Structure 1
């Protein structure tokens, strides 16, 4: 059995599921999802509150397992306060009898884990995506189809699907702190110029957790439409709309990375800021600025 501990926002959850799916398929094993983080470790004042989002997709390849039903030793070594000191010592894997508890370490060959009957995945795995997604992305495209969207979102999806459209994702809120990775205004303006040069008739649709800021900063630019989503907790609405635009300008964000990756347009143009591990993270045909 392979269990993946889901945590973080929608983009992170998609990466964690994707990696668990890939291993389960490779080993011919069943995949279980541990979602306790959203009411446990993740439900603390200093973190942006996140919720489990994968119930909005068709993911028949996994089912939820109760955290308390996992062995005590797995829960113990998987806990943040226990795991963190070991990470400083570059220890991200624990072999506990029939269980392997595996964290995030980009230097480790995740696809060839020491065999154990059970594996507990407790990491993000996004910086290893280019390798493990090669063998599973076609399957995941069929599973990562949003199911529960509002009527308002459906109308926008219909609009962007029928026109030459480019999604611009601007992430601010939790990226404004000192450890955040904020794509600056210069990046967006350069990206808009690049798309406009090659897609002369495109309309830009701006999605953001700070849409008022975007309206001020992008004021005066041609063909701009600001998506003012009144439901700030509706992560799936903006995500689905960005997926169905013909092109994507993404933020420093796994959320918009996945929207661009799942975009079905074969002729899409995707522009991205340079990520911390871009060589293994961004597809070769994406443009880095």
Structure 2
């Protein structure tokens, strides 16, 4: 079994699924017919619908529990996970980087793959263990780039396009379109700004200017939960911009 913990919005779900699917495909090539189990209990709703089941992802078992590991893991895996996470929650602050790596090494030996810092980590996974449990963010394309063709097909919407969006679909298919996602809303709350509000107006303006210099006749398609702010502050310049 590959037991996958899905959480967050759709983007976060994609990352977690992609790595679990990569493990699933590696094992298939080794002649193993693993069940892919996905736990949907921690999916978040940010005011819009959308989850993995809107896409052509592979056949899998659905769970709604605290953690698949606790439901389907071996007794040894459960005990090791409980002890190791408890110990490193205490000592981790003393030597953060080295402690995280050691924690991942230990859990990886038992088939529990941890991803907590995609920019500064290595993934450890004992592929010989009967059941594997990837837990974490896995926000690095290098973790699953080997199956990008599979993911490109599976991350295709199940339903046909919405007629009201025909103008967008036509532009995407026929022009040099650039998706510009400006998330504000919950990111602007004081509790979230410190950790998540990285892409400010300066960032987006530099990005727009860079695209204009490097992409021929770009058409910007802007998605945002605060379109009024985008219109008032972001200078797209000449050419086409669809909001």
- Fold agreement, TM-score > 0.5: yes
Name the residue aligned to 1:13. 13
> Contact 1:9–1:50 (CA<8 Å) still a contact in 2?
no
Q: Deviations over 1:78-121 (max 9, x none)?
A: 79xx957734533357769xx74333245664364363211222
Change (3 A) 1:117 1:156: same
Name the residue aligned to 1:174. 186
Shift of 1:23: 0.7
Residue 135 of structure 2 is aligned with which of 116, 122, 126?
Answer: 122
Q: Deviations over 1:187-208 (max 9, x none)?
A: 2222222222333422222211
Name the residue aligned to 1:216. 232
Q: TM-score, normalising length from structure 2?
A: 0.72
Shift of 1:16: 0.6
Change (3 A) 1:138 1:173: same
Cα distance in 2 between the residues matched to 1:87 and 1:49: 33
> Contact 2:187–2:197 (CA<8 Å) still a contact in 1?
yes
3-state SS, counterpart of residue 58 of structure 1:
coil
Change (3 A) 1:124 1:50: farther
Change (3 A) 1:78 1:57: farther
Cα distance in 1 between the residues matched to 2:88 and 2:227: 40
Change (3 A) 1:181 1:84: farther
Is 1:195 equivalent to 2:195 in the alignment?
A: no
Name the residue aligned to 1:30. 35
Change (3 A) 1:51 1:125: farther
Change (3 A) 1:182 1:23: same
3-state SS, counterpart of residue 56 of structure 2:
coil
Residue 165 of structure 1 is aligned with which of 172, 177, 185?
Answer: 177
What's the C-alpha RMSD, in Å, of the aligned pairs?
3.5
> Contact 2:4–2:135 (CA<8 Å) still a contact in 1?
yes
Structure richer in helix, relative to its length: 2
Change (3 A) 1:76 1:15: farther
